[in-house]
Amino acid sequence: MTDLASLVRFVLVRTSHPGNIGSSARAMRTMGFGRMALVAPHRFPHADALALAAGADDVLAQAGVHDGLVDGLAGCSLALGLSARRRGVDLEELSPREAAARVLAAAGRGEQVALVFGNERTGLENEELARCHAMVRIPSVDDFSSLNLSQAVQVMAYELRVALLGGTVPAAPVRDDAEPPADAARMERFYEHLSETLDDIDFHKGRAPTTIMLRLRKLFQRAQMDERELRILHGIFADAQRMARIAQDKDKQ
Amino acid sequence: MTDLASLVRFVLVRTSHPGNIGSSARAMRTMGFGRMALVAPHRFPHADALALAAGADDVLAQAGVHDGLVDGLAGCSLALGLSARRRGVDLEELSPREAAARVLAAAGRGEQVALVFGNERTGLENEELARCHAMVRIPSVDDFSSLNLSQAVQVMAYELRVALLGGTVPAAPVRDDAEPPADAARMERFYEHLSETLDDIDFHKGRAPTTIMLRLRKLFQRAQMDERELRILHGIFADAQRMARIAQDKDKQ
């Protein structure tokens, strides 16, 4: 596994069939990738996974198993979610090739990156896609759009391999300054603080907090914030909370 | 299936596992290809093939079954053999992408074209490769070079699909819902409201407001917000201002 490849994580979410975990490990391994994270797999470890890995046992042995996607994305500054959906997802849509270029650009800056694959039947839920920065759509035909899970893994691993071999890692200094991008755990703390603040300033007033929070998540995921930006926003929230506390303490007097 | 796609034949030679025939049919079908030829399959038809086709039954039903490769290639003017071998083959070697371009060029001239895939364990024999015009090597890593048969089919079908689509995924609306993106004038009002709010909640505390506002501008410009998102954020600012006003009014009392 090259250094760049070791920064790329294949995250399989709520996989039903352990055989697909094995096939995915094999698909990754043929293309030089070895970092797999499993989020709430239905059955793992399992003999079918080992059988279909066809020798990529090391990938399975080193796979992290996590309860939730946030843990599965720990340390990653960029998460791309595979989805066949065309509607109802408010995320930038990338082709596998565009995604490969973006992944390698981030890895080239030393960042950890995740490719996120949903359940075989249901794909990624909206809440899972909301933790991604963009979605990747493999250009399947409309009337038969669903690739087998490990086939989707193979296509992405293949495009990444071609991009790596092409050495055409686009030097993409999207961001001019040197602050590191915020990882998934920090983003979760940010959303918690935002949610608390909205409660404190009495923003919800009977409206559904989940819908609003989902919309705000999409907005801020899209922005791919760095740590300095997070600090500024945390500071703003803290001041808004301070004002709300003063206002409410006074009310009680 | 487009006209060009109908000229492309996937030829599976001496396939051992009927499940792989099914997975290959599914892989082809997702990318818009439907013409399969089976040369001396070990077991076919078979329940495993149907099960793993996952609905691509039409591909299996129409698959031609042949005793030998020569029959399987009948009518084809170009045959490209997939192989992981590096030596001992006296054939031009193409990448999957180069192969896709060549296949579509031939199909564009109205010629029938075959992609030939060997047995799962042994690949294509020399005599079989000798019936091909060039070999295609999927760029797997040296120490784990063998893709599952249907994964190899998927990679080739994917590259053909991308080439057919012109190398670009069909223009997809980045944002699915009908909210228009915010225009520059609205964004200015947004920044004014944000700036007022920061004053009201006493955020600046002697720090330079211009630097902070510049950073926040960069963040929110990057996010390319739509009008609904702007409304949510204006609502949040208004509530924060309301709290600040109560807090300050009370201070004056």
The pTM for the full model equals: 0.77
Q: Which is nearest to A129 in space by CA: A222, A196, A193?
A: A222
Task: Provide the shortest C-alpha distance from residue A121 to chain B (in Å).
Answer: 11
CATH code given to domain A4-165: 3.40.1280.10
- Percent of chain B scored above 70 by pLDDT? 92
Please name the residues between 182 and 201 in chain B that touch chain A, using a CB distance below 8 Å. Answer: 198, 200-201
Task: Provide the shortest C-alpha distance from residue A65 to chain B (in Å).
Answer: 24
Could you read off the pLDDT tens digit of each residue along chain A, which spans 253 residues?
568 999 999 999 999 999 999 999 999 999 999 999 999 999 999 999 999 999 999 999 999 999 999 999 999 999 999 998 766 667 889 999 999 999 999 999 999 999 999 999 999 998 899 899 999 999 999 999 999 999 999 999 999 999 999 854 444 334 445 678 888 889 999 999 999 999 999 998 877 788 888 889 988 988 888 889 999 999 999 999 999 999 988 766 6
Name the token pair of B246. 């109560």
Q: What is the pLDDT of residue B91?
A: 83
Tell me the ipTM for this assembly.
Answer: 0.77
Nearest CA in chain B to A219: B223
- Here the contacts of A42-48 (C-beta below 8 Å, separation 24 or greater) are A42/A14, A42/A15, A42/A16, A42/A17, A42/A18, A43/A18, A44/A15, A44/A18, A45/A18, A46/A18, A46/A21, A47/A18, A48/A17, A48/A18, A48/A19, A48/A22
Rounded Cα distance, A226 and B219, in Å: 9
Would you give the distance in Å from CA A234 to the centre of its chain? 22
Q: What angle do CA B13, B164, B75 make, to 5 degrees?
A: 40
The residue behind tokens 């979605």 is A135
- Segments making up each domain of chain B, as ranges: 4-165, 184-252
For residue B239, pLDDT beyond 90: yes
* Interchain CB contact of B234 with A (< 8 Å): no
CATH architecture entry for A184-252: Orthogonal Bundle (1.10)
Q: Is the peptide bond before A209 cis (omega within 30 degrees of 0)?
A: no
Please name the residues between 36 and 55 in chain B that touch chain A, using a CB distance below 8 Å. Answer: 54-55
- pLDDT tens-digit map of B85-112: 766 667 889 999 999 999 999 998 889 9
Residues from chain B contacting residue A92 (CB–CB below 8 Å): 174
> Higher pLDDT residue, B240 or B252?
B240
Asked if A161 lies within 8 A of B139 by C-beta distance, the reply is yes
Average model confidence (pLDDT) for chain B? 89
Would you say how long chain A is, in residues?
A: 253
pLDDT band at B174 (very low <50, low <70, confident <90, very high): very low
A 10 A CB-CB count for A200 gives 20
Asked if B141 lies within 8 A of A93 by C-beta distance, the reply is no
Who among B139, B170, B236 is closest to A165 (CB)?
B139
> Higher pLDDT residue, B167 or B122?
B122
Name the token pair of B250. 């009370």
Q: Which one of A151, A187, A220 makes the best mutation probe of the B interface by having the most chain B beta carbons within 10 Å?
A: A151
Would you say how long chain B is, in residues?
A: 253
Who among B139, B148, B229 is closest to A219 (CB)?
B229
Asked if A148 lies within 8 A of B250 by C-beta distance, the reply is no
Q: What is the pLDDT of residue B1?
A: 58
Who among A30, A146, A242 is closest to B147 (CB)?
A30
Asked if A198 lies within 8 A of B236 by C-beta distance, the reply is yes
Please name the residues between 68 and 127 in chain B that touch chain A, using a CB distance below 8 Å. Answer: 95-97
Is the Cα torsion angle A56, A62, A68, A74 positive or negative in sign? negative
Nearest CA in chain B to A150: B151
Is the Cα torsion angle B124, B127, B128, B130 positive or negative in sign? positive
Strands A76-82 and A134-136, how do they pair?
parallel
Name the token pair of A102. 């973006």
Nearest CA in chain A to B138: A158
Q: What is the pLDDT of residue A132?
A: 93
Q: Which amino acid is at A138?
A: I
Rounded Cα distance, A189 and A100, in Å: 28
